[in-house]
Amino acid sequence: MTGSLARLEARIVNCEQCPRLRDHCREVARVKRRAYRDRDYWGRPVPGFGDPLARLLVLGLAPGAHGANRTGRVFTGDRSGDWLYRALWQTGFANQPTSRDRDDGLRLDGAWVSSAVRCAPPDNKPLPAEIAACRPFLAREIALLPRVRVVVALGRIAFDSYLALAREAGRGAALARLQFAHDRQHQPTDGGPVLVSSYHPSQQNTSTGRLTEAMLRAVFERARSILTA
């Protein structure tokens, strides 16, 4: 990791901007889920993870209470992460199909995974002010990943957060009137990264069949085809 990304990671990990989120993360880490009662929980904001030379940025909602809030690595240690990293592995962006903890040997090739909110929110529902408070971290992260050519937004909150960031950066006209839909490709008019919207691999979506493994894999096959065109 480059020095600038490492400094950003340190800022994220030490952030205390949102008392409600910080209290929730600490409480989850204190009480723990029975299956993980012998594990040490991270319990802090979770930074992005991946290849500093990434051409693909994957943007999710927030850490899972007993996933990334436990492991300290985004999309790691829960079923959403199982689906995401398997799809990334199947499409050549990851060296292995699973991610269980921070030291399991996972490496991403040409991809960076991040989230709109860096702390696990109660009921997976961050408040608008909490999403906005995290947005500068995402802005800085994107600035430090200048090779990114495709952004995959997993879920509407990630999609809306990216669009809000684009508006703040003066790119609103280039990404105006976009509508969220699964596996939809959005081409900005200013030559910026292509935005691909996707359902989030949450249990609510995967257990009901709203999102299947083939559907999620197709999203990253689309990203790969854009990058290789």
What is the pLDDT confidence band of residue 3, given thresholds at 50, 70 and 90?
confident
pLDDT digits (tens, 9 = 90+) for 8-51: 999 999 999 999 999 999 999 999 999 999 999 999 999 999 99
pLDDT digits (tens, 9 = 90+) for 71-114: 999 999 999 999 999 999 999 999 999 999 999 999 999 999 99
Sheet holding 194-198, edge to edge: 49-50, 111-115, 56-60, 150-154, 194-198, 184-186
pLDDT recorded at residue 1: 60
Question: For residue 153, what is the enclosing H or E element?
Answer: strand 150-154
pLDDT digits (tens, 9 = 90+) for 189-228: 999 999 999 999 999 999 999 999 999 999 999 999 999 9
pLDDT recorded at residue 229: 87
Average pLDDT over residues 143-167: 97
What radius of gyration, in Å, describes the C-alpha atoms of the chain?
A: 16
Rounded CA gap, 55 and 77, in Å?
A: 25
Residue ranges and CATH numbers for the domains of the chain are 3-228 (3.40.470.10)
pLDDT recorded at residue 83: 98
Strand 111-115 to strand 49-50: parallel, antiparallel, or no bridges (unpaired)? Answer: antiparallel
